């Protein structure tokens, strides 16, 4: 899993506190949402800054952030893959789709690859039951997915990333697992 940076730019955090105020619990969720929008996750240093410069305690911040599924404490991948596991998708092979992606990327559900390229999430329902099974790949819904189709999407994204690296002059062999 990609580890969060031990050093971040706190300017977005400062701007959020300035905009939202350093009040108390009433702003907690809004501040957490804005932090996540700014960083893609909730960095520990940003949470500590909020606790140190507002009326919201670190305990309150973590209590709210761990209660709601929308918040995350680690960065997400460049490509987010959400596999629907609702009833229609489940009976049409959602588990096989998830397993195929896990095997290809050599990681587990709810994780991000070490290179930060992919995050895999299973979700309760994407609301596309008539198209089952479905996945959401980079915020686009893909219908009637098979394990092979899911793996092909991932391979294409991986190849595109490798080409972009090569175009930037970076070695393709820098991380052979990608």
CA distance 171 to 139: 29
Angle at which helix 28-39 crosses helix 11-20, to 10 degrees, equals: 150
Tell me how far the alpha carbon of residue 149 is from its chain's centroid: 21
CA terminus-to-terminus distance, the chain: 13
Tell me the pLDDT tens digit for each residue of 147-157: 999 999 999 99
The fold adopted by the segment(s) 79-167 is Glutaredoxin (3.40.30)
Tell me the pLDDT tens digit for each residue of 20-57: 887 777 789 999 999 999 998 999 999 999 999 999 99
156 Rama class: left (phi>0) / alpha (psi -120 to 50) / beta = alpha
Residue 172 pLDDT exceeds 80: no
- Residue 44: phi, psi to the nearest 5? -60, -40
Tell me the pLDDT tens digit for each residue of 51-78: 999 999 999 999 999 998 789 998 889 9
Instruction: Give which of 1, 9, 69 is closest to 45, Cα–Cα.
Output: 9
CA distance 109 to 83: 9
The predicted structure's pLDDT at residue 170 = 58
- Where do the structural domains in the chain lie, given as residue ranges? 11-67, 79-167
């Amino acid at each position: 899993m990609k580890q969060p940076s031990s050093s971040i730019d706190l300017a977005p955090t400062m701007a959020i506190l300035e905009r939202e105020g350093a009040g108390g619990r009433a702003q907690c969720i809004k501040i957490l949402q804005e932090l996540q929008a700014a960083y893609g996750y909730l960095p520990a240093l940003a949470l500590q800054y909020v606790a140190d410069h507002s009326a919201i305690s670190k305990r309150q911040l973590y209590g709210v952030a761990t209660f709601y599924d929308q918040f995350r404490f680690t960065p997400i991948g460049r490509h987010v893959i959400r596999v629907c596991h609702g009833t229609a998708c489940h009976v049409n092979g959602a588990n096989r789709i998830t397993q195929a992606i896990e095997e290809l990327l050599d990681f587990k559900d709810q994780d991000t690859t070490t290179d930060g390229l992919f995050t895999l999430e299973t979700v309760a329902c994407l609301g596309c039951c008539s198209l089952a099974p479905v996945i959401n790949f980079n915020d686009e819904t893909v219908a009637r997915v098979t394990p092979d189709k899911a793996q092909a999407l991932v391979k294409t994204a991986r190849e595109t990333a490798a080409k972009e690296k090569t175009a930037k002059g970076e070695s393709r062999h820098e991380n052979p697992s990608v």
